[in-house]
Amino acid sequence: MIVRIWHGRVPAEKAARYRHFLNARAIPDYRSVPGNISVRILERHDGDVAHFICLTMWESMAAIRAFAGEDAEVAKYYPEDREFLLEFEPHVQHYESVGHAGE
């Protein structure tokens, strides 16, 4: 299993709306791709900025490319992100999952 990690920052006053957007638009998009195992959205506030981390689990790099495009290291953004994000980090990180407990 491969874990794809994306990070974004939004103004804290937009965090609730961005959280709603991620749950309503981004998560269903991830889940619609064959080979997506799961999606987790993490949120942390640091003063006037909210950090979001999207952890997606995938069966293979081929499944990630089906979602993100041929260069799987490039972050995928939605047009709506322009309304929220403070910057657009160009790349994501991928890790191989080598241990697991729980669900």
Q: Which CATH number is 26's domain given?
A: 3.30.70.100
Low-confidence spans in the chain with pLDDT less than 70:
none
Whole-prediction pTM value? 0.92
For the CA atoms of 29, 25, 9, 42, what is the dihedral angle to 10 degrees? -70
Which stretches does DSSP call E strand in 22-72? Answer: 36-46, 49-58
The answer to whether residue 10 sits within a structural domain is yes
What's the pLDDT score for residue 100?
83
What's the pLDDT score for residue 102?
76
Domain range spanning residue 78? 2-96
The answer to whether residue 89 sits within a structural domain is yes
Q: What is the DSSP letter of 62?
A: H
What is the tens place of the pLDDT at every residue in 32-48?
999 999 999 999 999 99
